[in-house]
Amino acid sequence: MIFKRKKTKEQEAPVESNEVSASSEEPKTGPYDINDVADTNEYLDFGSILIKPVSGLKVRMDVEESNKRVIAVSLEIAESRVQLMAFSSSKSESLWPGIKDKIKSDITAQNGEIFKRDGDYGEELLAKVPQQLPDGRAGHVALRFVGIDGPRWFLRAVIGGNAIANEEAAATVDGILRDVIVNRGDKPLPPAELLPLNVPANAQTRPVQEDAQPEIKRPERGPEITQIG
């Protein structure tokens, strides 16, 4: 099987109770809610999703073919890809169980394979989806599905490319994901409503020289995986 499980963190050596200090609580890690971040000036603001610029990062906004609505932000770095979609959710119930079931159903219908694994945010899905290769032969694409619950929002990440089997590439993508900010907004929305996206005002639509400035592409049709889930 092509997937590699991430190395689990080594357990820390036990400490005496009198050595535990007030700082023992682990610092909060992202993705973050907009209300938990004091300064977002360096971020690319896509509306409901904010991305921290990283050297070599390419960003594309994906459009749903049927109604031309921008539905996702797709990132590419060093032959790894991650597609982000943000939804409204309730305070009491996660969207992830229902979305996982839909992903499993859709991939099974395509004669693909689906696997479960434990990740930083709970249960993740790994999938092998049949796909025609450029030379016309039958092949497959490997994907990792991650679901993250926030305060009244849900973020879905679909990861592919080198980040599936290469641990260093996976760590890079996971770092980008942890820096994501979600802006749910104050408008009342039903659960599972797609949060709005727009082209950021500070977007560069062609490559520039600054190392930390990503390349932004205007909205275009997304990859086939936007049809899953």
Answer with the residue of higher pLDDT: 8 or 103: 103
In this prediction, residue 133 has a pLDDT band, given cuts at 50, 70 and 90, of confident
Q: What is the pLDDT of residue 69?
A: 86
In the predicted structure, residue 221 carries a pLDDT above the cut 50: no
Distance in angstroms (rounded) separating the CA atoms of residues 123 and 125: 7
For 100-105, what is the mean pLDDT?
Answer: 96
Q: What is the pLDDT of residue 64?
A: 85
Task: Decide if 8 is inside a domain.
Answer: no
Q: Considering the entire predicted model, what is its pTM?
A: 0.79
75-84, 136-145, 160-169: least confidently modelled range: 136-145
Task: Decide if 17 is inside a domain.
Answer: no
Task: Decide if 7 is inside a domain.
Answer: no
Cβ proximity of 228 and 103 under 8 Å = yes
For 203-221, what is the mean pLDDT?
Answer: 50
Q: Render pLDDT for 32-48 as a digit per residue (tens, 0 to 9).
A: 999 999 999 999 999 99
Total count of domains within the chain: 1
Q: What is the pLDDT of residue 31?
A: 97
- Determine what percent of the chain is predicted with pLDDT higher than 90: 65
Q: Render pLDDT for 75-93 as a digit per residue (tens, 0 to 9).
A: 999 999 999 999 999 988 9
In the predicted structure, residue 110 carries a pLDDT above the cut 60: yes
Distance in angstroms (rounded) separating the CA atoms of residues 160 and 81: 5
In this prediction, residue 228 has a pLDDT band, given cuts at 50, 70 and 90, of very low
Task: Decide if 14 is inside a domain.
Answer: no
How remote is the C-alpha of 208 from its chain's centroid?
A: 25
What is the chain's mean pLDDT, rounded? 82
In the predicted structure, residue 19 carries a pLDDT above the cut 80: no
Q: Render pLDDT for 40-74 as a digit per residue (tens, 0 to 9).
A: 999 999 999 999 999 999 999 998 888 888 899 99
Domain that holds residue 213: 28-227
In the predicted structure, residue 26 carries a pLDDT above the cut 60: no
Lookup: tokens for 87: 């939804």
In the predicted structure, residue 104 carries a pLDDT above the cut 90: yes
Q: Exposed/middle/buried for 5, CB within 10 Å: 0-12, 13-18, 19+?
A: exposed
Q: How many CA atoms lie within 13 A of 71 on its CB side?
A: 20
Task: Decide if 22 is inside a domain.
Answer: no
Task: Decide if 6 is inside a domain.
Answer: no
In the predicted structure, residue 17 carries a pLDDT above the cut 60: no
